[in-house]
Each structure stands twice: as C-alpha cells, then as structure tokens.
Amino acid sequence: MRPLIRPARPSDGAALARIDFATWSPLHAVTERPAAPADPFFTGHREPGEHLVAEDGAELLGYAVLRCPVPLPAFAHVRQLQGLAVREEARG
C-alpha cells in the first residue's frame, strides 16, 4: 500500500514528536539532542498547517515542514521545505 500524504492535524502532534525524536541526528541537527520527545510538538513556531504527513492506515510514517521563506506579501505563494523526518523502517 502506498502512503497517503495529507495535512497534519493537531491530534498528530504526539506521533510526530516521537518520529522527530527517533530521527534526530548530529549530522543535521543544529541543537543538542533533546532528552525526550517534544511535548507539545505543535507550538507557536511549529504549526499543524505547516506540516504534511505520510500515513499508512492509522500509522504516521513521517512528515515534511513547508514554510514561507520570507514574511513579505510577494512571497505569500512560496513554500520552502524546512524539515523532513521519516521513520527508519519506512525509508526505501
């Protein structure tokens, strides 16, 4: 079965926090490894509307973060990939 790509929902936060924590790596992270998954995952700087999730049935496989790179009206239609996390067992 191919995964479904859909907008994130507020209820996805806990699953996305676990994926984010499990995929953290010093190869790409600019912060120290967190001690635990983010709680809450969605905050003022991380909103559900900026995330797309990959879902297989009821299971989330990963997410992408798409944000407007420049807060100017001329860029309102532009989105930039600013984050990507995929569970190891879902890669391939």
CATH code of the domain containing 72: 3.40.630.30
Q: H or E stretch including 15?
A: helix 13-22
Domain tally for the chain?
Answer: 1
- Show the domain range for 47: 4-28+35-90
E-strand ranges in the chain read 4-7, 51-56, 59-67, 80-86
* Cβ contacts of 3 within 8 Å, gap of 6 or more: 54, 55, 56, 61, 90
Confirm whether pTM is higher than 0.85: yes
Which of 61, 88, 66, 91 is closest to 79 using CA atoms?
Answer: 66
Write the pLDDT tens digit of every residue in 16-74: 999 999 999 988 888 889 999 999 999 988 999 999 999 999 899 999 999 999 999 99
